[in-house]
Amino acid sequence: MQLSERDERMLAGDHGPAAKLAMSILVRMADVYGADSLMDVSQAHIDSTIYLGDATLEFAERLASLGARVVVPTSLNVSGVDECGWTKWAVPADWAAKAARQMLAYEKMGAVPTWTCAPYQTAMRPSFGQQIAWGESNAIAFANSVIGARTERYPDLLDICCAITGRVPAIGLHLTENRAGEYLIRLSGVSDALQRDDQFFAVLGHLVGKLAEDRIPVVEGVTARPHEDHLKAFAAAAASSGRVALFHIVGITPEAPTRDAAFQSRAPVRVVDVTTEDLRAARAELTTAEGRDLDMVILGSPHFSLEEFRRLAPLVEGRRAHRRVRFLVTSSRFMKEQADAAGALGPVLAFGADVTLDTCILASPMLPPDIRTLMTNSAKYAYYAPSLLNTRVTFGSLADCVASAVEGRVVRDEASEALWRE
Amino acid sequence: MARVIAGRAIVSGAAEGDALVSGEPLSFWGGFDFQTGTIIDRHHPLVGVRASGLVLAVPFSKGSSTTTAVLLEAVRAGTAPAAIVTTGPDSFFALASIVAETMYGRSFPVVALDATDFASLRTGDRLRIERDGTIYSSGEEHPG
């Protein structure tokens, strides 16, 4: 492998012990990836912020104690604790203290404390064609697919090495020729009305994640015009049920103005037709609860955006969540401020909702054990919560989540249900 | 050790253990409890099975970027698989082993097999992995 002079100096320790450590890990990984050389990135997003236990903390503090500094603008993913709000929840004090230490370690490295899994909805959103090193599966898929920025699917612990060195292996999704579609997934007889249902893109993402295996999927036949948060839901779902780091939707995403462009004029390796029946089955998989019991409505994986607060506000305006049901929105400090300034936060709080920042229910042990049944509009929450939290989940639209919270048990809009039955 | 399988060492190392095999990819975050070494992904066929000390064979990692960090925790806690076998070089699994070696002086081999050899593995086969990626298997020749 060909290293630049600067790479060699870093590896030799001329840029300090932290850069030496980061470069030594990066060089070994470049070999795993089969890279001939390293290349520059101009931004990073660090998923290693998630506190799991002593190892994640020791890794962060080792780097920080060696004087690590990021050399490109770097945003930070969720942490293991809502730094200012954790005492309202079941988070053990020892966990909170260690998670906060891990946060501090990454802040010391000069990263921007964004504390969000939706960095693409902050001021640090990258641009089309920008070379970046991002961790966090949903953010990787969104940045590549919806923005057209370029990142490989980076794991925790490597993302920070890229940020400290400003370098990545010159491989994979950084290179144009590796961004071509491989599997063609065609919507077959899926009505426009169903496509405009609020749950549609999350369900489609869940299904595409499974169908895509380890390939780049191209979805054809989308007639609806999804808003950004629908594409965010698609990306998060596909990166949970599968390993999707880049997808194309013909006529929607920037590298897919046409099917031919999405495939870079190559032929699909495989063609799969998706019917309404397939989508109905995929949607059913996301609901693991039986019956209509409801302990909590949970929104915001990935973190709730300003636009999502704006859509939620009129739904909850003048209403009140049932006294037995907790209603929680997970978001970032930045987005909460934006929502407040836009007048969209007040109605949500008046409804009886809590807003948790910096983290989420999957990354922080915050839920008390009496919360057994959840309802969400997030396919990512629906996918992971049963395994991670031992809870049962009902998946539904944003409006159904609100209606159910008011009612105190799961209710569904009949007109939307009819679309899924057709 | 009847059968010899030519694997590619993605992270070199020697290990021996019983095979735990699935054709379904796995996310360790949300899929593996590093405190017990048990697979917990309710969508995965191996849910409920303890993978500690076994040679885990899954085609590739899926889902969360935090898979690597969970595996690092597992190495530190002594609950990691003895080795991981995949169908292609999997950067998530490889990185966990490389960082574990850097941090704790302990690593596990990661070996890539071609699809036919991977499909010939069976849960319960005794596997011995050599540093060059060669796998000696007690298992019979299975049609891929």
- Transcribe A235-295 into DSSP letters: HHHHHHHS--S--EETTTSTT-SSHHHHTTTPPPSEEEEE-HHHHHHHHHHH----SS--S
| C-alpha–C-alpha distance, residues B144 and B137, integer Å | 15
| C-alpha–C-alpha distance, residues B99 and B112, integer Å | 19
Do the Cβ atoms of A383 and B34 come within 8 Å? no
Do the Cβ atoms of B69 and A383 come within 8 Å? no
Tell me the CATH architecture of domain A5-177. 2-Layer Sandwich (3.30)
Model-wide pTM > 0.90:
yes
DSSP letters of A154-197?
PPTTHHHHHHHHTEEES-GGGSGGGGS--EEEEE-S--HHHHTS
ipTM for the predicted complex comes to: 0.97
Which residues of chain B have a CB within 8 Å of the CB of A50?
A: 66, 69
Tokens in use for A209? 């994640």
> How do the domains of chain A map onto residue ranges?
5-177, 180-285, 287-421
Do the Cβ atoms of A153 and B65 come within 8 Å? yes
C-alpha of A107 from chain center:
21
Which residue is associated with the tokens 């996301």?
Answer: A286
Question: Residue B124 in contact with residue B133, Cβ under 8 Å?
Answer: no
Name the phi and psi angles at B38, rounded to 5.
-100, 140
Which residues of chain B have a CB within 8 Å of the CB of A25?
A: 95, 98-99, 102
| C-alpha–C-alpha distance, residues A51 and B66, integer Å | 10
Question: Residue B14 in contact with residue B131, Cβ under 8 Å?
Answer: yes
Chains A, B: CB contacts under 8 A, how many?
125
Q: How far is CA B3 from CA A203, A206, B106, B128, B135, in A?
A: 44, 39, 28, 10, 8
**Residues of chain B that touch chain A, judged by Cβ-Cβ distance less than 8 Å:** 10-11, 25, 27, 30-31, 34, 40-43, 47, 59-70, 72-73, 75-77, 88-89, 91-92, 94-96, 98-99, 102-103
Active site residue B64: yes
What is the CATH code for A287-421? 3.30.499.10
Q: Chain B closest CA to A341's CA: distance in Å?
A: 33
The amino acid present at A122, given as its one-letter code, is T
| C-alpha–C-alpha distance, residues A79 and A69, integer Å | 19
Q: Between B30, B70, B96, which is nearest A387 by CB?
A: B30
> How do the domains of chain B map onto residue ranges?
3-137
| C-alpha–C-alpha distance, residues A162 and A174, integer Å | 13
Whether cis (ω within 30° of 0) applies to the bond prior to A302 is yes
Do the Cβ atoms of A156 and B68 come within 8 Å? yes
Tell me the CATH architecture of domain B3-137. 3-Layer(bba) Sandwich (3.50)
Give me Rg for the CA atoms of chain B. 14
Per-residue pLDDT of chain A (422 residues; tens, 9 = 90+): 999 999 999 999 999 999 999 999 999 999 999 999 999 999 999 999 999 999 999 999 999 999 999 999 999 999 999 999 999 999 999 999 999 999 999 999 999 999 999 999 999 999 999 999 999 999 999 999 999 999 999 999 999 999 999 999 999 999 999 999 999 999 999 999 999 999 999 999 999 999 999 999 999 999 999 999 999 999 999 999 999 999 999 999 999 999 999 999 999 999 999 999 999 999 999 999 999 999 999 999 999 999 999 999 999 999 999 999 999 999 999 999 999 999 999 999 999 999 999 999 999 999 999 999 999 999 999 999 999 999 999 999 999 999 999 999 999 999 999 999 98
Which residues of chain B have a CB within 8 Å of the CB of A140?
A: 65
